[in-house]
Structure 1
Amino acid sequence: MSRPAHAHLERGKACLRCRGRKMRCDGAKPSCGQCTHAGVNDCEYDDAGPTASQILERRVAQLQARIRELEEGQPSGTITLHRPHSPPQLQPRLPSPSSPDFLRSFSSCGFDFGFFLHMQRFKENMKASIPPSDDSPIPSALVYVVLLIDALFSNDPAYHATEDRLLALVQQNFSSDFHPTRMMYTLQTEVLLSYYLFHKDRRVEGGYHAAAAVSIVVACGLHKLGSTRAQGRTGINLPLPRDAVEDGERINAFWTVIVLDRCWTVWMQTPSVLIDETSANTQIDTPWPLDMIGYEQGMMPAGGQPVQTVQAFLNNPATDTQHQSLLALRAKASILYEKSAQIAAHWNPNAPGFQDHFVALDNRINQFKGVLPSLRQAAQTRPDLVRGLLTVHILINCATMQLHAPWIQPGNPINRKSLTAARTAVTSLQKVNISQLGYIDPFMGILLGAVGRSLATALRAVQRNAGAGPSNGSPADAAAVQESYSTVLTAMQIFSAACPLIGALLICIVYSLAIDIGHHADTELAKFR
């Protein structure tokens, strides 16, 4: 894949890193020589079109030509001038609120993208907000981001084609509205936009909006709903909820943001803004979330006293029950996942108390696995429930993989528990018909990528041992590991059709393993196209 050192690279074909640093680039993929030397695993190329400078130069040339034509009095169709701030090309045709298909796609995938409001109430308000205006029940930015996600997964080609224009309208109308009566809408906009950007593999922008969502949660005191329901809140004082459903929306909003924060900050290796500490006034007392039907039936937990929700969950397995909402399961799995990352990041087996913490968390993860609903039974229910529960099963196995990952060393490339967790995650994939899921939480790409890398590490080890078997006595063999590895890559290939992030991670895994075992990377990648 490398390009000869003397080969001439066409203008505009350099990777973005070399272009930004004005360095000579050889154009090699997945990583050019300059980036490889700097330790960058894969380059970013902008092969889709001209560079920003080329676009600017072309625009300047067009304007100069237009000026000459105006001076000479000649007509021209080169440039069509529009009124500023209202470009007609950015106003797509919006779906009709009276259509039976109104928000059909969003209604199905909203939970996967962090939607936490009452869907039916929200849809009624959305119908009254098309087209959006200053007087609409729903703020314009939230209207457009919901339509953006709806169009993203729409089967209507014309509607799907409006995605770029809808994103432009989101950005054009987005503002941080901190009025107490609009805060939940502002928070929902941040969450949905963050998920969308992660889905599109725009990680920095996604991280920015995720951090903004966490800041809003803390400012509104949503982390202390269990202890402040009858007391005044500090920061932004939200109006009292009108009913149990609105109260439930706030509870679900908090745990939705916790999931977003705990999962994506681990992957991006950035510190969380929301830490569960009494001394920092960020102790989490909000009760675990329910399904919306529970709030509709008035099933609100009693509040008033600090309950230390997360600490009670970590220290007391009795808090687990067989009947928990999907969001509660996802939040608990995310917390265990993030705790595993913390221990792995501060790995020091010789430190006092380290082994006790390690064993306690390992046991707690296993206990939580024991109460998860069966995927085979869930496969007969709604696709959104199957997608959510599949994510939980794979997430909790990734927590085990992450916790035991530091034991993997060059001389000991296979850790039995980590490999078993990876293969259990693969078994979870095999229990559902993933080709019928259509789309999935974008974080599934990160999880499947971790499973794929774990299996790739094991595969390299068993192949290098040429049938001798892993040195640590693991029951894995080359054929079994290869089958699990292929299953993961096939799943990623299916999901990558709808999720650019998963597609990018798939390419990285295949290239990495192919190069390491001496196979031609393009040949291996072609198997999954």
Structure 2
Amino acid sequence: MPKATSGSSSGARSALRRNQACRSCRKRKLKCDAARPHCGTCVKCWQSLISVPAPVGYAHPAEPQCVYDPVDGLTLSPETDPIEKIRLLEEEVSKLKIQLQEQNIPAHSPGPLMSRRHSYGLCTPGSTATSSGSDSQLPVPGSKLSASSTGYALSLNHLNFRQGGFGINMQYTAVNDVHSELIHTGWNTDLPEPHVLDHYIETFFRCDPCGPRILHRPSFLPAMCLHPRDPAFPHSAILHAICACASRWSSRNVAMQPDGSRKDEFAEYHATKTRKYIDRTMATGEDIFQVVQACIILSWYFYQEGRWVEAWVFAGFQTRVAIPLRLNYPGTFCAHGGALTAGYLPPPRDFRDLEIRRRTWWMSIVFDRIVAAGGWAHSIDERDIGTELPLRGEDFDAEHLIPNNPQDMCTEDFFTTHLPKYTDSFLLFIKAIMMFGRVTDYNVRSKLRNSTPPKKHQDPFASPGFKELDSLVHRKFLENLPHSHRFNIGVTDVAANGPLVDTDLYMVHVIPYAASITLHNSYLDLNDVRRLSTSRCIEAAQAILSAYYMLSATSLDTTRLHPFITICWYLAAVVQVQVCKQSIEMGDQVREAQVWREINVLRLAMLNYGSRSPIGTRQEGLLRGLMKEVVRLSSQKQPLEVGLPLYPFSHSTVFADPTLPRCDAPVAPLPNPSVPEHYEATFYGSAVGVEPADQLLLPSVYVGTSTIAGNLQADDPLQSGDFLAWDKNSSR
């Protein structure tokens, strides 16, 4: 008779869920108790296995071979993840193969590699690399294989060309030789071949206005001649980021999408490679400083592409990573503190290392201020910045051993005192951006502290700190620039090389006006002509326009300006749109047509910039979205075409000079609709603008709109409405 079931046995373990048992027991169809880390069945089998001595040449496993399915949301360690184990074994096999082949390859000096994926990495059938002129035609996917390279040639006898189709048959011998050369030299096959990579690096240093600031060019270029496995050879993450940024300056056909984005597979490939290095560093901390530098370069690439989400995320990443590196401390190193608060990086090795750290830190701060221009809080508070300003560019390049810059953010009169031995256009650009950041901080904190948005009728000068900030932005900063920079907008005419532009100095003269618009836009009210905020906005918009007219009157390529210029143009255009709306409501068609000309000049400037950097196209599209109502109410038949040249000359038309390289082709000067024949371009104080030769009668509601800053009296205020909404509508 069967034994009765006791009460305790009724509470026995219930059946396992599906796939809860380990893989070994399920495979062998054995009972499993699902114990972790090893079930009882697998432990018994393992104990039975190790009880017998292992045969010669065989070793028993060190632990039971008990593996469970991964749990959703839980990352397995490499020791327990079978997929990771397989990957590690494959890597080990690859390393052993490389060592075996290196032993069989005769030793010879490593030279430039001929065949790699010129566009993406290792060379594949259907690729080439050509060069012509200063901006040579760079390799594109789908072209033929180049037959020669610097110091290295691959015999065409190894190639078997076949007509038809898209590919080229390459014999195994040629492929094996190429891979053997790659294996021997240790070159990263994800990078372009050396002579193509050198071209991209030269283009990057010559054309890019942002990223090169953090690199020491005199030592970076010679380092490229070192063996790829040399510790001083530039990090692959930096080289990938340089390729992504420099691709916009190469004379290759890049597809432009309807939304203004660029379809550049080469740039996207190298941007993806850079992100993989960043992801790996986030997990391991390996090569963290070099990867932070690559992140900064890649961030500027995303910003110029108008990819707001990625730019914003990377801005936060690089600033937060820089904090444990102690880059925000004086000398970029903190000697005091316990083990828990010690810096991740050792003290700087030498002068160059110290200055590179300074510049890396300040460029991350500059980027943080620029991406937050739409009204976002900054990642790093100004009070937490203790790093002194960098040295002048000439001292950095020449490695002059001079004392550290005595100025930092805590220095009194930081924005108005400029020491001659520690001042150049880049340092002034940093100060201008930090001043813009103060305006952003003021606006953000004012909105946080007040439950209601600011009203047009409010007097902002009664708010604490507003008057001092307005004085700095409107007058003090520009008036206290060094004489050599105050009356020079950055455009010079060199007879030998043609006109040149100092992009940093040009931005120094434009950013204060963009900051003034950002500070006063909430109080802009054109119905109150005595409002000071209105005069500030109108004055700033005209100053930005005038600076553009000065630049467009030369043959300079405006697409080489700093990408933040598109935001400045946008801010000026927003003010002009509000003025245009006021002219429509008053029925002043003459004034309306003139303002439409000014708006369209700024639109054309953004579109021209967007031909190379999509941020211009995106800002112009955002502006058109704001203008829908004004366009509908306009008395002009084609308001978006008023004032545009009938034949807008450019390097893409039949009027272009065929002897000029495409990248260096001149841009036709745009007419200044605000300056008739009796107007002349002049310098006025620290502002560059246009000054009327004769006094004209203008509508009283729009006094002095077409004159520069100096012709508007500070005690003759105007006012304006809150029309600057680009930060709310932007995808950032």
Match for residue 448 of structure 1? Answer: 569
Superposition deviation, residue 382 in structure 1? 9.0
Alignment of 1:83-482 (within 5 A): 91=121, 93=123, 94-98=191-195, 101-113=199-211, 115-128=213-226, 137-157=233-253, 162-175=266-279, 177=281, 182-226=287-331, 234-267=341-374, 269-277=375-383, 282-294=384-396, 296-302=398-404, 309-312=408-411, 314=413, 317-319=416-418, 321=420, 324-345=423-444, 346=446, 349-352=461-464, 354-356=466-468, 358-359=470-471, 362-368=474-480, 372-373=485-486, 374-375=488-489, 377-378=491-492, 380=494, 386-409=502-525, 411-412=527-528, 415-432=534-551, 433=554, 436-467=557-588, 478=592, 480-482=594-596
Structure 1 residue aligned with 2:610, among 485, 496, 500? Answer: 496
Amino acid at match of 2:537: S
Assess if the C-alpha contact under 8 Å between 2:237 and 2:294 holds in 1.
yes
Q: Deviations over 1:142-199 (max 9, x none)?
A: 2211111122321145996522322332333433537899333122111111111122
* Runs (5+) with no aligned partner, structure 1: 1-83, 470-476
Q: Which amino acid aligns with 2:546?
A: T
Partner Cα distance (1:452, 1:369) in 2? 27
Aligned mates of 2:415, 2:564 — CA distance in 1 = 28
Paired letter, 2:479: Q
Measured in 2, the distance between the counterparts of 1:259 and 1:294 equals 19
Deviates more, 1:283-292 or 1:176-185: 176-185
Change (3 A) 1:161 1:326: same
Take 1:101 and 1:302, find their aligned partners in 2: how far apart are those partners?
Answer: 34
8 Å CA contact 1:248–1:295 kept in 2: the answer is no
CA 1:104/1:287 → structure 2, altered by over 3 Å: closer, same or farther? closer
Instruction: List per-residue Cα deviations over 1:245-287 (Å, max 9, x = no partner).
Output: 22211121122112111111122x332121122xxxx242413
Q: How many angstroms apart in 2 are the aligned matches of 1:526 and 1:497?
A: 19
Q: Offset of 1:206 from its aligned partner?
A: 0.9
Give yes or no for contact 2:241–2:294 (8 Å, CA) kept in 1. Answer: yes
Q: 1:392 to 1:384 in 2, by over 3 A?
A: farther
SS of 1:499's equivalent? coil
Deviations, residues 339-385 of structure 1 (Å, cap 9, x unaligned):
12233442654445654554455443343567535126545489885
- 2:368–2:378 CA contact under 8 A, matched in 1: yes
Distance of aligned partners of 1:377 and 1:446 in 2 relative to their CA distance in 1, 3 Å threshold: closer
Q: Could you say what secondary structure the match of 2:409 adopts?
A: helix
Structure with the higher strand share, 1 or 2: 2
Please state how far the C-alpha of 1:106 moved relative to its aligned partner. Answer: 0.9
How far is the alpha carbon of 1:398 from its aligned partner? 0.6
SS in 1 for 2:599: helix
Q: In the alignment, is the contact (CA less than 8 A) between 1:103 and 1:150 conserved in 2?
A: yes
- Structure 1 residues 157 and 410: alpha-carbon distance in aligned structure 2, compared to 1, 3 A threshold: closer
**Aligned residue pair count:** 428
2:214–2:359 Cα contact (<8 Å) kept:
yes
Q: Using the alignment, how far apart are the partners of 1:460 and 1:322 within structure 2?
A: 49
Range with bigger deviation, 347-356 or 519-528: 519-528
1:287–1:301 CA contact under 8 A, matched in 2: no
Q: 1: CA distance between counterparts of 2:570 and 2:468?
A: 30
- Provide Cα deviations, 1:426-483, integer angstroms capped at 9, x if missing partner: 11112224752443332222222112112222222233223399xxxxxxx5455444
**Counterpart amino acid of residue 105 in structure 1:** T
**1:72 counterpart residue number:** none
Contact 2:510–2:544 at 8 Å: present in 1 too? yes
Choose 486-495 or 381-390, whichever is displaced more: 381-390
Structure 2 vs 1, CA of residues 169 and 127 (structure 1 numbering), >3 Å: closer, same or farther?
A: farther
Give 1:494 shift: 0.9
Give the TM-score of the pair, scaled to structure 2: 0.51
Given that residues 490 and 501 in structure 2 are in contact (C-alpha distance below 8 angstroms), is that contact kept between their aligned partners in structure 1?
no
Superposed CA RMSD in Å reads 4.0
Q: Say if 2:626 is the partner of 1:512.
A: yes
Deviation at 1:324, TM superposition (A): 2.1
Provide closer, same or farther for how the CA distance between residues 340 and 225 of structure 1 changes in structure 2, counting only shifts above 3 A.
same
One-letter code of the match for 2:617? Answer: G
For residues 144 and 302 of structure 1, the distance between their equivalents in structure 2, rounded to whole angstroms, comes to 32
The one-character-per-residue Cα deviations of 1:90-134 (angstroms, maximum 9, x if unpaired) are 64655432467352321223442464110232233345577xx89
Q: Distance in 2 between matches of 1:351 and 1:440?
A: 36
Secondary structure of 2:377 counterpart: coil
- Structure-2 separation of matches of 1:377 and 1:226: 34
Displacement after TM superposition at 1:421 (Å):
1.2
Residue 223 of structure 1 and its aligned partner are, at CA, apart by: 2.2
Larger Rg over CA atoms: 2
Cα distance in 2 for residues equivalent to 1:522 and 1:481: 15
Question: What is the CA–CA distance in structure 2 between the aligned matches of 1:391 and 1:196, rounded to whole Å?
Answer: 19
Cα distance between partner residues in 1 of 2:429 and 2:212: 11
- Are residues 343 and 164 of structure 1, via their aligned partners in 2, closer, same or farther at CA, if it must alter by over 3 Å? closer
Cross-structure match for 1:80: none
2:192 & 2:499 partners in 1: Cα distance? 24
Q: Quick one: structure 1 residues 434 and 335, their matched pair in 2 at CA, closer, same or farther if it must change by over 3 Å? A: farther
Secondary structure of 1:518's aligned partner: helix
Query: What CA distance in whole angstroms lies between the structure 1 residues aligned with 2:332 and 2:205?
Result: 32
Give the TM-score, by structure 1 length. 0.69
In the alignment, which residue of structure 2 is the partner of 1:9?
none
Q: Structure 1 stretch 250-259 or stretch 114-123: which is displaced more?
A: 114-123
**Which amino acid is the alignment partner of residue 386 of structure 2?**
I
Contact 1:222 1:286 in 2 (8 A): no
Change over 3 Å in CA distance of 1:343–1:314 after alignment to 2: farther
